[in-house]
Structure 1
Amino acid sequence: MSERKVLNKYYPPDFDPSKIPRRRGPKNSQQVVRLMAPFSMRCNTCGDYIYKGKKFNARKETVEGEDYYGIKIFSTLCSSEITFKTDPKNTDYSAEHGASRNFEPWRDEKAEEEDRLARLEEEENNPMKALENRQIDSKREMDILDALQDIRDRNSRNERVGQNKAAELVGKLGLQELEDEETRQRRLEEEEDERLVREVFSKVPSTPTAEQPGNVDDESSSNPLQAVTIKRKAAVLDAELDESLPRSSAPAPKPILKRKKEVANSLGIKVVKKKVAV
């Protein structure tokens, strides 16, 4: 068995390259290649859909009368021959025989060209229609220019801000949001305190003042809201203070004082007191 990677060839001593005839390839030669479908197509024989990227064992041959290649493949369902060729004009492939493309991009270009020609013909016959079309075109151009100017202004503003300015701006926004949150929390606490105060004072009974028969209408008209003064006794306040104190708190016990022992008694010495004569 010969080597797979041969570096040297053996030439016999009597080798003469001039005696080897020059070979020519056949005119209608075909080359079997493995390729993928360049576009999605539908078989005209069986109606099977062949999607883009489907792999085939195809025969590649030179197209007669043209300067590019045509490729033959076979349908995967009915094995009928499908031929497509390259399309240098549209830089794509075109189905030649046995199948039809599902979508051809150049059809839209042809439709746009036909619409443009029809519009020009209509404008030549109808001046008012031409004026309307010009107004529509000018309005579209103005909208495009306005949008472009807005984009330019935004880009220039972003460039002026810079990274440091952007960081400062973000920091200021964060501080502002924090201050707004603290202010809102403080306002809610104040509203809660006011509500509690109103509830407490609404439970206190008001003492009606003595009304004078002659000045009832005058007082009610001049002082619609009268201030109520409540006087409370000191005993009541002391009782309330006692109730407010915790009941578990009791007076501290007095410390026990130990009696000092006399040193003489502990040593067994008796002290005799002398009588003093008066």
Structure 2
Amino acid sequence: MGERKGLNKYYPPNFDPKQIPRIRKPKNQQRKIRSMVPLRIRCNTCGNYMSEGTKINCREENVIGETYLGIKIHRFYFKCSKCCTELILKTDPKNSSYVAESGATCVYDQHEEEEQAEDGGDRMSSLEKRTLVSKREVDVMAALDEMKSMKSRRVSVSVDSMLEDLSKRHKEEEEVAKEEDAALIKSTKFGKQRRIVDEETDEMEKTKKVRMEAVDEKKPKTKKLACIVTLKKKKTTSLGLASLCHNYGADEEE
């Protein structure tokens, strides 16, 4: 079937391809393509709405002198489906969307709508994200301050001073441990026999004190009786001498 379509061409023997003139095309030549409307637009002349995904025949070209981070920007020319006015759209790689350059207006901006949905619909989630970010920043700043303070301390403190401080702390800990051990030894009582012996000694001391008090009470009573007896003896002797003297004087008178 291939021989009937006339695909074979005859090249004469004196054919030279260098003699064929080359066609010079312009650098920004427009290309005809079949595409779809990327977003919902409204025609400015007739007010017709063209929804997203409407199939169109358009011409595409590169925008000269406009790039975004090395990404080329493209322009599309097509006609309104009702009034056949020319509409122009341009790519927007910064916002990953399209822009209506002339002849039409975008009914809504996809980027702005997403921002509004994030701000309006998920306010609590946005607040939580902000609080988390602020907490992280505070933690990072606190960690940096601690690192700075540690570095300043290390610079100011020498090795000898660190060793002296460590030795002092070790001695203080040993002294505190010894004091605690001594207090524990004094407070503890070993076994029940020690307690019984202590109680017996306390009872013996109490009985001795009671006996001594009884003896002390008896001694002054004997002294008082002896004094009374001596006083009585003195009185009787003095009366006897007086009677003798009185009788002796009476005898001489007689």
With the shorter chain as reference, the TM-score category is 0.3 to 0.5
Larger radius of gyration: 2
Higher strand share: 2
Higher relative CO (Cα under 8 Å, sequence separation at least 6) belongs to: 2
Q: Give the TM-score normalised by structure 1.
A: 0.36
Q: Give the TM-score normalised by structure 2.
A: 0.39
